[in-house]
Amino acid sequence: KGYPIPELTLSNLHPKNLPMWPLLFITIACGAISGFHATQSPLIARTIQNEKHGRRIFYGMMIGESAIALVWAAAGMAVFGGTGGLQEALAAGGPAGVVRTVSITMLGAIGGTLAIIGVIILPITSGDTAFRGARMVIADFFKMNQKPMSKRLAISIPLFAIAFGLSKIDFNFLWRYFSWANQTTAMILLWAAAMYLVKEKRLHWIATIPAIFMTAVTFTYLLQAPEGFGLATSISYPVGLLITLGITLLFASKVRKERKTEIL
C-alpha cells in the first residue's frame, strides 16, 4: 500500500501556527545538526588511530541521523495525512503511539517490531555514551585517574542522580531545553572548528557558514521561546540577526589578527 506524502510547501503547516524559524531547526534537533555528537570527542579520540577517521565517524553519523529524521518526518506526514492528523495522533498516544502506529502500519508486525526496537536502542546507547563522555570530560578536567572503580563511581553516581532528577521534569519542556542546548553546543563547536581551521591555514568556511546559521537559530530561539525571553517575532528576529552579525564580525576581526600575525 502506498502512502502519499503531502506536497512540499513553504507555507506554515503547524496546527498552532507557530513560526517555522527557528523552531524547525530546534524541534528536529539532531536531525538538523547535533552538538551531542561533538561531546563524544573525548570518547572517540580514545578509539581511533587517525584524525582523518573523524570525518567518517562524525560527519558520517550526522548524515545518517539526518536521513533518519527525514524518513520519520515523511512517514509521519504520510501515515497521518499531514500535520493536522499527526498532531491529533501525538495528542492521543504521544510520541510512542506515533512510532508504534507508523512502524506497524508501514512494516507489518515483524518489521514494525524491529523498527520499534531500533527506536528504543538509539536513546539507550545515546544515554550510555553521554554518561561515558561526561565522566571522561570531568575526569580529564580534574585529572582524576579512571582506572580505580571508586574514582569512576565518584563521578558517575552524581551524574546518575542529576539525570534521575531531570527525568522528573515535564518531557515537553525538557525536550525543548535539550534541543536548544544541543544546537547551542553545535554552534559553539562550529565556531571553535572554524578558528582551528584558520590557525591551520585551511579552508574555514565549511565550518564558518554553518556556525553563522546556527548562531542565528539558537539566539533567535532563546529570545523567542517561552522558556527563554518570550519575545515576539517582530523583536526576536531582528535582535537575533544583530547578535549573529556581531559574533560574525568578532570572528572576522580575529581572523584578520591571525592573518596579520602570520605576516609578521
Answer yes or no: do 177 and 140 share one domain: no
**Per-residue pLDDT at 236 exceeds 90:** yes
Q: What's the total number of domains in the chain? A: 2
Answer yes or no: do 177 and 188 share one domain: yes
Indicate the residue among 107, 134, 168 that finishes a domain.
168
Q: How far apart are CA 183 and CA 174, in angstroms?
A: 14
Percent of the chain whose predicted confidence (pLDDT) is above 90: 30
Q: How far apart are CA 207 and CA 187, in angstroms?
A: 10
Q: Is residue 137 part of a domain?
A: yes
The reported pTM is 0.79
Q: Which domain holds residue 229?
A: 16-52+171-258
pLDDT tier for residue 248 given thresholds of 50, 70 and 90: very high
The 10s digit of each residue's pLDDT in 104-116 is 988 888 888 888 8
**Per-residue pLDDT at 69 exceeds 70:** yes
- How remote is the C-alpha of 138 from its chain's centroid? 22
The 10s digit of each residue's pLDDT in 189-208 is 899 999 999 999 899 999 99
Indicate the residue among 136, 168, 200 that finishes a domain.
168
**Which residues have CB under 8 Å from 154's CB, separation 6+?**
144
